[in-house]
Structure 1
Amino acid sequence: MANMTIEQLCEHIEGHVKTCFPVFKEVRAFEDGRDPADLKTPAFFFECSDVQNEEDEDPQTGESAHTLRFEGQVICNSATPRRKVFQLAMSVASKFRRSRLGVPVGVKIGPARVIGVSADNFDPRLDQFYVYTVEWTQLVFLGESVWEDDGSLPPSQVLISTAPAIGAAHEEDYRPLG
């Protein structure tokens, strides 16, 4: 199984949102310093706000497991009724629940777990908009696996022998460990 980078994950999330919600005129990850006057609404901006190491999810492959916490903002102009903005944010949360968010099968990733939806009135740059934040977490595996990605399974049995009876010429001398 393959894994991916944070950049690739964000590209998949962007594509998933664009496909599922064509109403959004803009969908972007990690949007910085944007002039709100240039904002095309409705819009969905998201970013990873927290990373937690998950030792209990160690796949024993050399990769590391992490839970990423995302915050996505559903932004609409103030001419849109507030309840419609809330309804759109709830639709996003519902679509994300237990979803792989467009990440293809074969990539190691857990399902999205929606934390909640809340009104976001804290960014003074967005005072002229209605904003709701959708929060979710996603378990991801980062780094390279020590196993070959050729479709073969990792070893299911470990065999041992002692020198000098080692190597291919001494296969019959090996015995199971444990």
Structure 2
Amino acid sequence: MTRSIDLDKFHDAVKLEIADNFPTVSTVEDYDTDRKDLMAPAILIELVDMEADPDSDPGTEQLAVVSKWVARIIMSFRTENVKREIRKFAAALGVLVHQNRWSMQMGPAQVTYIGPDAFSPELDKYEVWAVEWDQQIDLGQSVWTGEGVTPDRVMIGYAPKIGPGQEGDYSELGGNS
């Protein structure tokens, strides 16, 4: 059964795993962070957009989308050897993101970019690199509720000996008959 992705939990899971894996980072936040008084080093995550992905339709009447994410790594220019350090940090974050599912039921993360971030005036006193990734997720509730009888065995019949009255001609899949 495919479950709907809760976007709040998704954000929280990404932030928590990044914070757990990079304990020396002062700030791991998302949209509400005041960038003028930012404590660096910092990682700011953002869900950039969601693009419909009809080729990944889960058959549950949910909306399959490719979510596009960016994690901006921010270091002070005062950091010793900042140009090298930010590149090493970005590479390590890329490794963490690669194929990560954030302990949730979703497709694996596909890293699409690791490199310098576009200019942001509020971050001009920092060195900023970005790790970008795509992640396929399903939005909305599944029509499959999980109710009903779950079969405990699978039987196979071969035409023309199938249907009611032919049960004796069936074999159990994986069975010894």
Q: TM-score under structure 2 normalisation? A: 0.77
Q: 1:110 aligns with which of 107, 111, 116?
A: 107
* Residue 164 of structure 1: aligned partner: none
**Secondary structure in 2 matching 1:31:** coil
Unaligned runs of 5+ in 1: 157-171, 173-178
Unaligned runs of 5+ in 2: 155-163, 165-177
Relative to structure 1, the CA distance from residue 150 to residue 90 in structure 2 (aligned partners, 3 Å threshold; closer, same or farther) is farther
How is 1:19-168 mapped onto 2 (pairs within 5 angstroms)? 19-31=20-32, 34-36=34-36, 38-80=37-79, 81-100=82-101, 102-104=102-104, 107=105, 109-149=106-146
Contact 1:99 1:112 in 2 (8 A): yes
Relative to structure 1, the CA distance from residue 118 to residue 152 in structure 2 (aligned partners, 3 Å threshold; closer, same or farther) is farther
Give 2:60's aligned amino acid.
Answer: T
Runs of 4+ in 1 over 4 A off after TM superposition: 150-154
- Identity of aligned pairs, percent? 27
How many residues are paired up?
A: 151
RMSD of aligned Cα (Å): 2.3
CA distance in 2: counterparts of 1:61 and 1:149, whole angstroms: 12
Q: TM-score under structure 1 normalisation? A: 0.77
Contact 2:35 2:123 in 1 (8 A): no
